[in-house]
Homo-oligomer: A and B are copies of this chain.
């Protein structure tokens, strides 16, 4: 899967205009710096020395070679090359001195036996559904080991029906269809990629009565509308298809048959019919070459302006006269997945684990997704292995994992987390994830308690293109983006200057989800982006040749990722105090709470205003008789919610965090041996503090998701919802549930505060 950085919370956009480094200073950013969160002054020098040695063994040539080899054949789950890649990595980890093994799970993984899409009226057209070789792309000729493009976990089916174009197939699109008087019942929907996670498209189509779902990539979104298409440029060519999972990961990730437990032999498995994350209707992804004749055959109303894409035609909604026949028939059997797990035991605190992960399975060759991140992880492991061979040991245990089966639904990470849940809850301090990686600007997501810690790592890594620090470049990028996005009438002033990265909150879409949202393990996601030409996501053209031409030709950004993630891993392993700054977390929760208040207030005002417009017949008066469109449905008034408990918990959290940070600073800077118990108490607290934010009841309707601050949205998929139990209840107008979860969230926050209070109380 790929990381969408547009997920960054808008609540923090305001705080980005601070000064980074200035001028010449940037160009000489040192490989170590004067202060490191959690390190005493005495320990900083040793750490800086260690990181210099770590950097010295990172090699762009290694990354290039590993990527070329690992992307040389299709490496999806169940393929021969997927297994070979796991074995290759196992051998490498062992060669580098790690205690490595392959952990295997057996998961439900349907693969297509027969797929077809045909336009049967008003004319006939048979969709190609395959990706032809492209000149200069050496692996694109290797079609025999590929699976046909498909959406894994869609249902089997052989259906025929009128076609309806439903734009991106998101909830607002169905509201618009209802206003236009168009039903999808008994019909096949054609949806456009984008606007929300792909799995929601067939799910919502099914809920609205559709019998089949096609998803196409519009050239406006990642094809010629974005830039030259492959092989001239890096964007999606006509026949390229975006594969991808449509498992309902808003309920749980991992093997659909084993929610909550590892998919090992003997595990209790659901019957396929009882697996709630499996889709109920057939769904297939198609290229824009295949979509164009279907769209052109649609009649009915002209699609609203926001629904129109980049094909040279007027987009219509239908239904019909286009009729489509589609068929999906799959092998519904289990396949093995191969996680590579490598440990380097800590010398002092072996039962505190700092975990690193990336996945190794792709949809076809998977150069950018996932191998760009994976080869950086391997470089880190190699370099750490060298340090160990030279006599160094980490203070805490390092765990480097290469996941299988991320693409179908975070299978490898989820099954491993579920299988080892008890141990992880006791030992896991931090999970550091990566996935895709390109040229450009460091983007990071995670708890804001880690914001300063991650910023220090970015401060100490040089950007390959400018020689400035990665932090300086990232901050400059945000400052310029803010400046350029302001209209002429918009005052340039921005509040809340900051010299730190601004972390986005984590939703889903990569392997941090089981760690963070199921178990409550503090997690981070990292990657560079912003300068790549990448429009071949989940197609056979996400290849080594594409990557070396249009993403990161020198692999220097891969090295920069290794340096950044490696610093985070090494520092989290070595710091006397586990890095944290809880006031930043408290401030972020406070801003989420503010958003909820504003959301409810705005919905209340909008609801009242709509009521007035319906009462005074404004909608009736504006109706165009040539294109009638019903008014929006009237909604009941928005009540005032019982926010007090949450407001009090936030106030408490801010106060406790401030006291905790004060004590943390005292312990971190001092080196009084009599404080060692206090330090241990603090580290013990920070190892499991995040778990206070979970609640065993989980989120409404999805108990697997136990984190009360972050979740993928039920109607956004990958996109995060913060304080989701409350926020989604408000958005969906379930007022009792909103009030209930205000209490649940408040209690979680109070537990978190109380745990901090205990950590700093006199023993």
Please report A residues at the B interface, Cβ cutoff 8 Å: 17, 19-20, 22-23, 26, 219, 224-229, 233, 235, 302, 305, 308, 310-314, 439-441, 463, 465-466, 468, 472-473, 475-477, 479-480, 483, 486, 488-493, 530-531, 598-599, 601-603, 605-606, 608-610, 613, 615-626
Contacts and interface: CB of A to CB of B under 8 A. Distances in A.
Contacts of A233: 302, 314
B492 A605 contact: yes
Contacts of A225: 308, 314
Given A312-B311, A618-B480, A492 B19 contact: no
B622 A473 contact: yes
Contact of A613 (B440, B483, B602, B610): B483
A668 B453 CA distance: 75
A602 B488 contact: yes
A601 to B, nearest CB: 7
Q: Name which of A314, A483, A606 has the most chain B CB atoms within 10 A of its CB.
A: A314
Contacts of A22: 615-617
A314 B228 contact: yes
Contacts of A226: 305, 314
Contacts of A624: 439-440, 465, 530-531
A603 B224 CA distance: 36
A224 B440 CA distance: 36
B602 A492 contact: yes
A626 B225 CA distance: 19
A314 B225 CA distance: 6
B616 A476 contact: yes
Nearest to A440: B624
Given A476-B621, A609-B483, A314 B616 contact: no
B480 A613 contact: yes
Contacts of A616: 19-20, 22-23, 476
A23 B606 CA distance: 21
A620 B616 CA distance: 55
A313 B609 contact: no
Contacts of A463: 621
B20 A599 contact: no
A697 to B, nearest CB: 28
Oligomeric state, in copies:
2
Contact of A599 (B19, B480, B489, B608): B489
Given A26-B617, A466-B620, A480-B618, A302 B489 contact: no
A582 B617 CA distance: 32
Contacts of A313: 224
A488 B625 contact: no
10 contacts: A224-B314, A228-B302, A233-B302, A310-B312, A473-B621, A473-B622, A492-B609, A492-B610, A493-B605, A531-B624
Contacts of A441: 622
A710 B480 CA distance: 35
B606 A314 contact: no
Pick the 10 closest A-B CB pairs, nearest first: A492-B609, A476-B621, A476-B618, A492-B605, A312-B312, A224-B314, A492-B606, A531-B624, A479-B618, A477-B622
Given A476-B621, A480-B619, 5 more contacts: A19-B616, A20-B621, A22-B615, A477-B621, A491-B602
B625 A465 contact: yes
Contacts of A620: 466
Given A227-B302, A493-B605, A20 B531 contact: no
A488 B622 contact: no
Contacts of A472: 621
B618 A488 contact: no
Contacts of A615: 22-23
A235 B463 CA distance: 50
Nearest to A488: B602
Nearest to A316: B228
